[in-house]
Structure 1
Amino acid sequence: MHPALQGLLTIAIGVSACVGYFYLSNQFLDKILFPPRGPNAGRNINRANMVRPWLFLFPALVALGLYLAYPVVETLRLSLTDRVPGGGYEWVGLDNYAQMMGEPKFWEAMRNNMLWLIVVPALSTAFGLLVAQLTDRIRWGNIAKSLIFMPMAISFVGASVIWKLVYDTRPVEQDQIGMLNALYIFFGGTDPQTWLTIPFWNNFFLMIVLVWIQTGFAMVILSAALRGIPEETVEAAILDGASPFQIFFKIKVPQIKTTILVVWTTITIVVLKVFDIVFAMTNGQWETQVLANYMFDKLFRANDWGVGSASAMVIMLLVTPILVWNVRNARKEME
């Protein structure tokens, strides 16, 4: 079947199944389980109204249990076991975690992830806030916002391919198609550089890709927050003789501090799970390994499900506190 037709058929079946489920479940609830007639009609109506929300939540709860809760429990089990040659698994306790922590590649991945956590959320949030502030002051600001947000529509792999061409290196006797090397040669460089193989600095070249993508996300959220600032506070600051920098840093930024923190933590969660960019551009070589790529290597290349699952649990443990804190802040802001 043609992929387009297959997609349309899947949508049609899915929508029909959802409509059918909600219709039949309500019919069962109102006409069979708690019929609104007889001496207990009022009580049955109340009972049906109490059960009805759970009918709507049931498919989502099943999906969450099947695709989220079960994989977490199974990954934890695999991280505490090891495959035996004849098939099956044997309990090894924390041996996989000890083996993982004894590998230099794991600590390289941890170090790089911490570096990503320091650089990417800070730059993405700062650039997003700067662009949000500046584009609100110019006539063609909406066009600028659209252009800056456009990378969000590109997959991480697609963005990696684009930036890999930017960093491309050709022999010195050939024209450089990579923009960075072309500029390097133009401004007096002698030999073109293989940017992605330079230890330590190559991590920053990879980070640029994610900053390029996430700046658009930060800009949209922070732009909405800036527009929600009461005009009275800004006007009062202007009347008091405050400069544009003072208005921005002492009036506007404090009022959207919660939104800035939510954007920061959301990008932090993305960074902790970063995989596509590293996999597509360096595959963890030249000291660019990150935790998600390390997990992939262990699971699908080394076929070491124990250590691979242990690294997956480490990623989950790092993400969970930030996720919980982010949700709490979002709820406080809504209240």
Structure 2
Amino acid sequence: MQQLFFAVLTMIAGVLACALYFFGTNFILDRLLPSKGLSGPQASRNLRLTNAIRPWLFLGPALITLTVYLVYPVIESIRLSFHGRSGIEFVGFRNFIWMFNDGEFRQSIFNNFLWLLVVPALATFFGLIIAALTDRIWWGNIAKTLIFMPMAISFVGASVIWKFIYDYRPEGTEQIGILNALVVYFGGSPEAWVTLPFWNNFFLMVILIWIQTGFAMVILSAALRGIPEETVEAAVIDGANGLQIFFKIMIPQIWGTIAVVWTTITITVLKVFDIVLAMTNGQWQSQVLANLMFDWMFRGGGDFGRGAAIALVIMVLVVPIMVWNIRNANKEMEGH
């Protein structure tokens, strides 16, 4: 209850602080540069100045936050990647040479590649299919709400839920994990699913697919509803069946939105950390880049140089996709 109390108190304090800041800064600006009650060049000058300053009052906190929590960490990570364990001794490219020769780093790259192949594809596919199907049934909005609900759960919370699904108890004892309970019910032997090398990656991917399908469904459902009815009606008149309309009429018209959803999920996959940390902590060959970075940066005494080098690899992989995603989203907006 104490944690809940402080969480609610923090939210209330944050909202009140934001309201006080925006109302307060606008009040001060209007008093320093009044335009009411004045006439002539002075009023015009004050009005121009307030119009120029006011947007920065709203953007200022966001820009300061981005600088402190994004720009500075990027610069500091670049600096640390060329330094040793303590971040003081300059070692040049030694951290990068170690990284590309390290077996665990290569395993992490391979696992991230698997995640990139599977998660965005399946989450987008399931989201698209569900969006198309739920638009055709009367209880579609209820179904969408249920499917979107995992988006409200943190990655760690979702991992705890799926830990109960994958839970393993020795053979002969009662299985509380849903998956093993079903296996035993049908005459099989229980397995410690998350400890199976290679295959455990796919069991972890299911969690992220479960979460991200709701996101894909909402975006793609909106895109499908934006398709002009005239094109669908024309296809029906021409004798096209449901599958032909879906794949040859609807999909091409929302392909840009599908690409944006795909790349957004791809960025999430490249940064995946919480699920692996909560489920396996990178054991049994399930390590990914973000978890490996965390291990080197904060565990075992911490090696800031190696941790920063791995962080830069993640950034280099994420930034091009993010830039492409923003450009594609802007094109979509221009089209509407």
Q: Does the alignment reach a TM-score above 0.5?
A: yes
Work out the number of aligned pairs and report it: 331
* Pair 1:169–1:250, CA change in 2 (3 A): same
Deviates more, 1:160-169 or 1:216-225: 160-169
Q: Does 2:76 match 1:74? A: yes
User: Equivalent residue of 1:90, what SS?
Assistant: coil
Q: Distance in 2 between matches of 1:148 and 1:124?
A: 12
1:224 Cα deviation from its structure 2 partner: 1.1
Identity percentage over the alignment? Answer: 64
Instruction: Summarize the alignment of residues 97-108 of structure 1 with structure 2, pairs less than 5 Å apart.
Output: 97-108=96-107
Q: Distance in 2 between matches of 1:118 and 1:140?
A: 33
- In structure 2, what is the equivalent of residue 276 of structure 1? 274
1:41 Cα deviation from its structure 2 partner: 3.7
- In structure 2, what is the equivalent of residue 146 of structure 1? 145
- In structure 2, what is the equivalent of residue 65 of structure 1? 67
* Pair 1:246–1:26, CA change in 2 (3 A): same
Q: Does 2:234 match 1:232? A: no
* Pair 1:27–1:153, CA change in 2 (3 A): closer
Kindly indicate whether the alpha-carbon contact (under 8 Å) linking 1:34 and 1:47 is maintained by their aligned counterparts in 2: no
- In structure 2, what is the equivalent of residue 180 of structure 1? 179
Q: Distance in 2 between matches of 1:203 and 1:75?
A: 28
* Residue type at the aligned position of 1:79: S
Deviations along 1:128-162, one digit per CA (max 9) or x if unpaired, are 10111111112222222122112112211121122
Q: Distance in 2 between matches of 1:301 and 1:94?
A: 22
Q: Does 2:128 match 1:129? A: yes
1:28 Cα deviation from its structure 2 partner: 4.7
User: Equivalent residue of 2:89, what SS?
Assistant: strand
1:19 Cα deviation from its structure 2 partner: 4.0
Supply the RMSD in Å over aligned alpha carbons: 2.1
* Residue type at the aligned position of 2:51: N
Q: Distance in 1 between matches of 2:135 and 2:41?
A: 64
Q: Distance in 2 between matches of 1:57 and 1:186?
A: 59
Instruction: Summarize the alignment of residues 255-266 of structure 1 with structure 2, pairs less than 5 Å apart.
Output: 255-266=253-264
* Pair 1:188–1:72, CA change in 2 (3 A): same
Q: Distance in 1 between matches of 2:17 and 2:134?
A: 45
- In structure 2, what is the equivalent of residue 317 of structure 1? 316
- In structure 1, what is the equivalent of residue 49 of structure 2? 47
Q: Does 2:168 match 1:166? A: no
* Pair 1:90–1:278, CA change in 2 (3 A): same
Q: Which runs of 4+ in 1 moved over 6 A?
A: none
Deviates more, 1:41-50 or 1:114-123: 41-50
* Pair 1:152–1:39, CA change in 2 (3 A): closer
Q: Distance in 2 between matches of 1:267 and 1:146?
A: 20
Kindly indicate whether the alpha-carbon contact (under 8 Å) linking 2:281 and 2:287 is maintained by their aligned counterparts in 1: yes
* Pair 1:92–1:334, CA change in 2 (3 A): same
Kindly indicate whether the alpha-carbon contact (under 8 Å) linking 2:85 and 2:306 is maintained by their aligned counterparts in 1: no
Kindly indicate whether the alpha-carbon contact (under 8 Å) linking 2:194 and 2:200 is maintained by their aligned counterparts in 1: yes
Kindly indicate whether the alpha-carbon contact (under 8 Å) linking 1:152 and 1:214 is maintained by their aligned counterparts in 2: yes
Q: Distance in 2 between matches of 1:38 and 1:8?
A: 50
1:211 to 209, 212, 218: 209
* Residue type at the aligned position of 1:50: A
* Pair 1:22–1:141, CA change in 2 (3 A): closer
Kindly indicate whether the alpha-carbon contact (under 8 Å) linking 1:109 and 1:290 is maintained by their aligned counterparts in 2: yes
Kindly indicate whether the alpha-carbon contact (under 8 Å) linking 1:262 and 1:329 is maintained by their aligned counterparts in 2: yes
